[in-house]
Structure 1
Amino acid sequence: MQSDLIKLNQEGTPLFDLLKTICQKEIYSFHALPISSFGHSDILPFCGKEDVFLESTITDEAFDNFFFPKGVIRESQKLTAQIYNADRSFYITGGTSVANQIAITALYDKEDEILIDKNCHQSVHFHSHSQALGANVDYLCPDLIAEDGQLTAWSIEKLTNKVLSKQSEEAGYDLIILTAQSYEGLIYDIPAVLLHLLKAGVKTRKFFIDEAWGSLNYFSDDTRPYTVMNIDSIIEEYPNLEVVCTQSAHKSLFCLRQASLIHCKGGKELPYKIEVAKFRIHTTSPNYAILASLDLAQAYMRQYGNEMASYSRALVNTFKEEINSEPELALLHAESEVFQDHWHIHHDPTKVMLNVTSLGDSSVIKDKLLRENIFVKRILSNHLLLSFHIGINKEAVGALTRALVLISQPSVINRDIKINSISKTFIIPYPPGVPIVFPGDKINAEITQKIKQYEDSGMLVISA
């Protein structure tokens, strides 16, 4: 029996085996999921990764009701609401796609007219168009474009005119759905946007904001003013306002994948509407390990949130200083300001767009970094997007810099190789160390293409 089990583990579990291998590798992720990053936090005494793999057959009766909690879940959610300045907060264990469905369902009334930011996550669009909702949907299309069309945003003029134009023709939009922050780190000043709309005479009083990437923004003075729940003064002036936001907590906090948060402000009945929508949509078998990780995450952020947010920004500066001090990386530069001429758009300082034009194609550089155990998820035509989340430490920054230096070496070594020139040196890919060009050979297009192929495959190509 024991030998059969061993055989099963070796040959019958391909998914498990690959996941175990990946988890055991020392991979530094400059994407998301801080809890999965290799290495220990430079701030936290421990990250709690091992503590949250908890599960029990004992649920509601001896624990708490997940949907209408009155015990420990409600107590923990209350602590979370305090640090996010929300009236109420809710834990979701099915990911932010489910959280978005719950938020929209809670705010939506039959026959409502909805305006949706076209850059919203797919889950917003799917649910709004679903038969279960059957909403009348209109779209806010981006009118600001940068980086070869890969970065887009909407102007405040476009949004305001769109909403007021609808009001002049009909009753207007009952619900407006916007994205607070893009994958690339563009942050809309949501409180200022809401106030601008209301002062302009917009009658809409229900707003849903997808703040998936914005959990950490609440813990630093340079981004806190732009956060969705920073609307106390607006609620005082417009008490019939209802604002709900969702956060993909696992992207920014030390919690497990699919851990998500819903926050709300305004409207006495709004929290109950969210609980009912949660009861209708969420699985009746919530993941208690994810719940526990959300509880740990709020405790970490309560005690260390400001410090970790500050440290993430310090590591960004450290990285910029390191690439500036490396001669091989002299042509690299970190770009952080896009659409800076628009007052309602800002940039997340923990997101770095690294221009890698001098090293080659960004998709090739991404693959080369992965071979050096550096994971980058998002690329643009000439850029890598690096997320310095709270799981990044000094060790990860050092590893990234060393990997970029290593990748740059072939390009630096061969910078004098020009097509149709006569080579004065041997040109040798290593391994295997066999010259492909000898002194006196003409370097034609075929040779330069071969050199590029060797470099793209990760080989060191030496001119000696």
Structure 2
Amino acid sequence: MWTIAQSRRLTDTPYADALERHAGAGIANFHALPIGSLTHAPDGETTPHAEQARRLYGSRMLAAELTLGSPELDSYFRAHRSLARSRRLTAEAFGADDSHYVTVGTTGANQIALEALRVGTARVLVDRSMHQSIHFALDRLQADVHYAPTAADDTEHGVITALRRAQAAGDRYDVVVIGVSAYDGSLVQMRRFLASLHELTAETGIAVLIDEAWTAIHSFHPAMRRNAAVACVREALDDHPDWSASFLVTQSAHKSMLAMRQGSYVHVSASADRLMQLRADVSAAVYRVHTTSPSLPILASLDIARGHAVAEGEALVERALTLAARLREVARRVPGIAVHHPVPSAGGAQSAYLADPMKVHLDFGSPERAQAVRRELYDEYGVYVSRQDGRTLLFTVHIGVTPAQVDTLVEAFETVCCGESVECACPDGRWIIAYPPGIPLQVPGEQLAALPVQQIGEELYSTF
């Protein structure tokens, strides 16, 4: 993916280095953020709560919680030194024209992107399965929203279907909003999607927001990068230099990379005729939407996350893929567990989707049994499973999962599942499960038909 010289440069962390030099420097701050002074207590004073903060967060973390107008730490909104260089390195690593750091999560990143694309004056085609942040922002910006139909099968994405219908009717959309990496591991086949998008908008042009929340780390593994959004967008723009198109890709870096919670990226890519204006619009949107008190530790973590991904991402993704394959193999030999494929045709020649190999769905026969296994994994083995969907549990094998942790999970499977009866009757009742969180079950304009619901069970995704 990169030359040796590029890899060395892309592992630099200029912003994190600058913050580290300032952390704990003993500067008397007469501005704001008293947590730094109260928890360091240079004159020997301390309180129980300050001690608790030190235990929870650590002295170095608290020392990095700065509010400091140091030139070396740069300006968040007008970056031109360490932060600007860090962002340039991140854009190069992902393959974007520009990259912005967001410390208020991808909810904020999506709001910034939609503001930059000026959806308030646009006709917008939206993938209905988008996160709530998209729906709320579109409503706030008073966009003219049209929802893509749910595809009848998996051979074509609903957004492409809607674009085909619009073209046939002599109509058009100005902005497309699509999610390409779902919580459950369903991935849009990016090259196929972009090829169809170009076919349908080559003459009219298009602006696109791509929410790639769950798979930022894929950009740093050669095989996975072939479907990574930013890299595929770059390839499509290079292959079609006359295509007038704008792309913003948002990523929850903290979900898959070495970044702190609420750390997100907004990547900017566009054709030559649009790039300068898009860059200006994104910068203006960041200024209007983002907090004026960005977290410096989160900013630094986004810098570190990119350096870490360039240096170790390929090896760690490869390890995760191996561990995920091991879980599937164990599931095939342990009684009462089966590997589940949420999108059966994913990856096929005619499918619009791929399945994320770092996501493992295991079928335990019934919702009750899946819930019981999930609870026992947590209570007896300290293994947390975030999602239950009916009779299946979802195991996300991210780059932080270790072989020892998988050993524990395998031991738990062998103990819990082999030591019980595997005959599980399906329940008579039905469950309505609003999961994954934040994905609307219906959107404006839809009517909820009467359902033969006999029983609403307890929420199977209840917290412990």
Range of TM-score over shorter length: 0.7 to 0.9
Q: Are the equivalent residues in 2 in contact too, given 1:167–1:173 (CA < 8 A)?
A: no
Q: Are the equivalent residues in 2 in contact too, given 1:189–1:227 (CA < 8 A)?
A: no
Residues 378, 76 of structure 1: alpha-carbon distance in 2 compared, 3 angstrom cutoff: same
Greater RCO between the two (CA within 8 Å, min separation 6)? 1
The answer to whether the aligner puts 1:265 opposite 2:247 as a matched pair is: no
How does 1:384-423 map onto structure 2 within 5 Å?
384-412=393-421
Partner of 2:337: 332
Q: Are the equivalent residues in 1 in contact too, given 2:104–2:264 (CA < 8 A)?
A: yes
Distance in 2 (CA, whole Å) between partners of 1:373 and 1:198 is 48
Q: Deviations over 1:289-336 (max 9, x none)?
A: 1011111111111111111111110111222344455xxx23312234
Q: TM-score normalised to the size of structure 2? A: 0.72
Residues 59, 378 of structure 1: alpha-carbon distance in 2 compared, 3 angstrom cutoff: farther
The answer to whether the aligner puts 1:124 opposite 2:124 as a matched pair is: no
The answer to whether the aligner puts 1:313 opposite 2:313 as a matched pair is: no
The answer to whether the aligner puts 1:88 opposite 2:88 as a matched pair is: no
The answer to whether the aligner puts 1:245 opposite 2:249 as a matched pair is: yes
How does 1:423-434 map onto structure 2 within 5 Å?
none
Percent identity over the alignment?
25
Q: Are the equivalent residues in 1 in contact too, given 2:206–2:244 (CA < 8 A)?
A: yes
Partner of 2:214: 213
How does 1:110-259 map onto structure 2 within 5 Å?
110-130=120-140, 133-143=141-151, 155-156=155-156, 158-169=158-169, 171-201=171-201, 203-229=204-230, 230-236=232-238, 237=240, 238-259=242-263
Residues 158, 252 of structure 1: alpha-carbon distance in 2 compared, 3 angstrom cutoff: closer
Letter in 1 for 2:76: F
- Which among 106, 113, 117 is matched to residue 103 of structure 1? 113
Distance in 1 (CA, whole Å) between partners of 2:50 and 2:85 is 41
Shift of 1:155: 4.9
Distance in 1 (CA, whole Å) between partners of 2:367 and 2:150 is 31
User: Is there any run of 5+ residues in structure 2 with no aligned partner, and where?
Assistant: 1-43, 425-464
Distance in 2 (CA, whole Å) between partners of 1:350 and 1:178 is 21
User: Is there any run of 5+ residues in structure 1 with no aligned partner, and where?
Assistant: 24-48, 146-153, 417-464
Distance in 1 (CA, whole Å) between partners of 2:199 and 2:256 is 33
Structure with higher Rg: it is 1
Letter in 2 for 1:338: P
Distance in 1 (CA, whole Å) between partners of 2:358 and 2:262 is 22
Report the secondary structure of 2:176's partner residue. strand
Partner of 1:79: 89
Shift of 1:183: 0.5
Q: Are the equivalent residues in 1 in contact too, given 2:127–2:159 (CA < 8 A)?
A: no
Residues 67, 136 of structure 1: alpha-carbon distance in 2 compared, 3 angstrom cutoff: same
Report the secondary structure of 2:409's partner residue. helix
The range that moved more, 210-219 or 165-174, is 165-174
Distance in 2 (CA, whole Å) between partners of 1:401 and 1:109 is 48
Report the secondary structure of 2:222's partner residue. coil
Report the secondary structure of 1:262's partner residue. strand
Distance in 2 (CA, whole Å) between partners of 1:206 and 1:269 is 12
Shift of 1:205: 1.3
| Alignment size in residue pairs | 367
Q: Are the equivalent residues in 2 in contact too, given 1:94–1:282 (CA < 8 A)?
A: yes
Distance in 2 (CA, whole Å) between partners of 1:345 and 1:51 is 44
The answer to whether the aligner puts 1:289 opposite 2:291 as a matched pair is: no
Q: TM-score normalised to the size of structure 1? A: 0.72
Residues 198, 314 of structure 1: alpha-carbon distance in 2 compared, 3 angstrom cutoff: same
Q: CA RMSD in A?
A: 3.0
Shift of 1:370: 1.4
Q: Are the equivalent residues in 2 in contact too, given 1:191–1:227 (CA < 8 A)?
A: no
Letter in 1 for 2:166: K
Q: Are the equivalent residues in 2 in contact too, given 1:359–1:411 (CA < 8 A)?
A: no
The answer to whether the aligner puts 1:374 opposite 2:383 as a matched pair is: yes
Letter in 1 for 2:82: V
Shift of 1:376: 0.8
